């Protein structure tokens, strides 16, 4: 039996306290299961934003999507995680990644390092969090630990995710330098998910699989909607773009059927959309409620 759907929204735009609370309440009203905050310079600081979201809402889980572990000292991060989990009533889900925007590290005065060094730091961070949060202090509300999401695409990161994560997050894209991402074709994503599943074959419990959706548009004219996006993916044809799992463009029925088919094909039951798509995707959330 397929895992039931969960839906998250990643809130990107800094606001006043009143506007932030209203935005979080709106996400809850629309039926989102998880309110998420990224970890990029120029966007809201993750942990205070999630505490404020908890104060404004009752039901949604609250997550980082995802922390750039290069920004964080593991000991100080353990304090943030434990405090945030306590102040949100045990609603925190911790998302971690290696980061992919070198310019942000330069701006923050932090080392960027090689891809291997960034993965090493992420693994060290996970191990330290397990050690520190498993002790009496700092102590999160959730035991034995806060649920862990890891965003991954490369082979080594998929192995790390299979070993440690409760939630395996796929962006459907690969970093290509200068902080840019290049979309994977549907077939390439098949291969990445299959590689992850091979790494995870020895797990006692399967992880939840997450996909970040980039484009959502309910329309009768799929071709017209996708035209402005084609310049961003010059390596793909229009038909290939429309087949991308991270692109949901079509009538409501077409999108619902696509999401159901992708859960069957890849195992994606936890879908995240970006803030600009929160309202339109809510119609899909409603249509898939309880499925």
Would 37 be classed as within a structural domain?
yes
Residues spanned by the domain of 102: 6-287
Q: Kindly state whether residue 1 falls inside one of the protein's structural domains.
A: no
* pLDDT, position 180: 82
Q: Residue 233: its pLDDT value, please?
A: 87
Residue 201 lies in a domain: yes
pLDDT (tens place) for every residue of the chain, 291 residues total: 899 999 999 999 999 999 999 999 999 999 999 999 999 999 999 999 999 999 999 999 999 999 999 999 999 999 999 999 999 999 999 999 999 999 999 999 999 999 999 999 999 999 999 999 988 778 899 988 999 999 999 999 999 999 999 999 999 998 887 778 888 999 999 999 999 999 999 999 999 999 999 999 999 999 999 999 998 888 889 999 999 999 999 999 999 999 999 999 999 999 999 999 999 999 999 999 988
Give the integer Cα–Cα distance in Å for 169 and 167: 6
The count of structural domains within the chain is: 1
Position 29 in a domain: yes
* pLDDT at res. 23: 98
Q: What is the CATH number of the domain that holds 206?
A: 3.20.20.30
Which tokens go with 78? 């353990």
Cα–Cα distance list, 213 to 38, 88, 246, 272 (Å): 14, 26, 4, 6
Measured CA to CA, the distance from residue 219 to residue 201 in angstroms comes to 40
In a domain, 202, yes or no: yes
């Amino acid at each position: 039996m397929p895992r039931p759907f969960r839906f998250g929204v990643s809130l990107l735009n800094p606001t006043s306290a009143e506007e932030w609370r209203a935005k979080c309440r709106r996400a809850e009203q629309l039926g989102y299961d998880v309110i998420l905050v990224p970890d990029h310079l120029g966007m809201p600081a993750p942990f205070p934003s999630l505490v404020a979201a908890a104060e404004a809402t009752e039901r949604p889980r609250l997550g980082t999507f995802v922390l750039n572990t290069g920004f964080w000292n593991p000991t100080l991060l353990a304090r943030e995680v434990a405090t945030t989990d306590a102040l949100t009533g045990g609603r925190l889900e911790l998302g971690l990644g290696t980061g992919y925007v070198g310019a942000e590290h330069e701006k923050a005065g932090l080392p960027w390092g090689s891809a291997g060094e960034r993965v090493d730091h992420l693994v060290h961070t996970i191990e330290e969090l397990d050690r520190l949060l498993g002790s009496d202090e700092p102590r999160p509300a959730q035991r034995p630990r806060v649920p862990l999401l890891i965003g991954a695409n490369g082979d080594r990161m998929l192995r790390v995710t299979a070993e440690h994560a409760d939630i395996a997050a796929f962006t459907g894209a690969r970093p290509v330098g200068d902080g840019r991402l290049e979309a994977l074709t549907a077939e390439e994503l098949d291969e990445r998910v299959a590689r992850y599943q091979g790494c995870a074959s020895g797990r006692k419990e399967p992880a939840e699989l997450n996909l970040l959706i980039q484009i959502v548009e309910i329309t009768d004219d799929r071709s017209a909607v996708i035209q402005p996006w084609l310049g961003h993916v010059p390596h793909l044809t229009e038909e290939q773009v429309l087949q991308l799992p991270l692109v949901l463009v079509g009538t409501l029925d077409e999108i619902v059927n696509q999401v159901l088919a992708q859960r069957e094909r890849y195992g994606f039951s936890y879908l995240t959309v970006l803030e600009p798509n929160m309202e339109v995707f809510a119609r899909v959330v409603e249509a898939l409620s309880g499925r």
